[in-house]
């Protein structure tokens, strides 16, 4: 029962984080600045972003519900809070402030934190659950490549 409550809690927090990040973006995706950027040829259509993030947050929330039911500590909470802040702040750095290079550093740090969760908490009790982080890691690698392309070619 505890895992179900944690799952719902993390769903609310993680989707809330996406909503906050979206607020930081404003209408930037449709705005002049973003439209004028030289984007990577492999940039997916806009609908892919929402679909991907929805799947990622469901998987991440499920992983977190198991992690926090097994290892509920201040350290694990701090790692999660840092990941949350980095995830939300990327939108602010990239879309709101147009700090492309800082956003790239931000998303690389976020990727390292999610990779840390994947590697460090993959013991026997979480060995199969850690694979729920793979969609997040894959998407972050794609996002890094998109951000890096814009940083390099603009």
Over residues 107-127, the pLDDT tens digits come to: 999 999 999 999 988 667 778
Positive or negative CA dihedral for 110, 139, 141, 73?
Answer: positive
Closest by CA to 112, choosing from 81, 89, 79, is 79
pLDDT of residue 80: 97
Q: Does the pLDDT value for residue 2 go beyond 90?
A: no
Q: Which secondary structure element, helix H or strand E, spans residue 50, and what is its range? A: helix 46-70
User: How far is the C-alpha of 88 from the C-alpha of 111, rounded, in Å?
Assistant: 13
User: How far is the C-alpha of 135 from the C-alpha of 126, rounded, in Å?
Assistant: 16
Q: Is 42 helix (H, G, I), strand (E, B) or coil?
A: coil
pLDDT, the chain, mean: 93
- Which domains, ranges and CATH numbers included, belong to the chain? 2-153 (1.20.1260)
User: How far is the C-alpha of 72 from the C-alpha of 126, rounded, in Å?
Assistant: 13
Over residues 88-106, the pLDDT tens digits come to: 999 999 999 999 999 999 9
């Amino acid at each position: 029962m505890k895992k179900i409550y944690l799952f719902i809690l993390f769903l609310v927090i993680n989707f809330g984080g996406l909503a906050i990040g979206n607020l930081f973006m404003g209408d930037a995706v449709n705005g002049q600045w973003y439209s004028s950027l030289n984007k990577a040829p492999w940039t997916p259509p806009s609908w892919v972003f929402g679909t991907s993030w929805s799947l990622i947050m469901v998987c991440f929330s499920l992983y977190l519900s198991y992690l926090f039911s097994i290892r509920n500590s201040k350290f694990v909470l701090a790692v999660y809070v840092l990941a949350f802040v980095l995830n939300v702040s990327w939108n602010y750095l990239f879309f709101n402030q147009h700090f492309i290079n800082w956003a790239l550093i931000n998303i690389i740090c976020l990727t390292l934190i999610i990779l840390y969760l994947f590697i460090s908490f993959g013991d026997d009790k979480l060995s199969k659950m850690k694979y729920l982080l793979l969609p997040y890691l894959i998407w972050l690698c794609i996002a890094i490549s998109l951000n890096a392309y814009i940083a390099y070619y603009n």
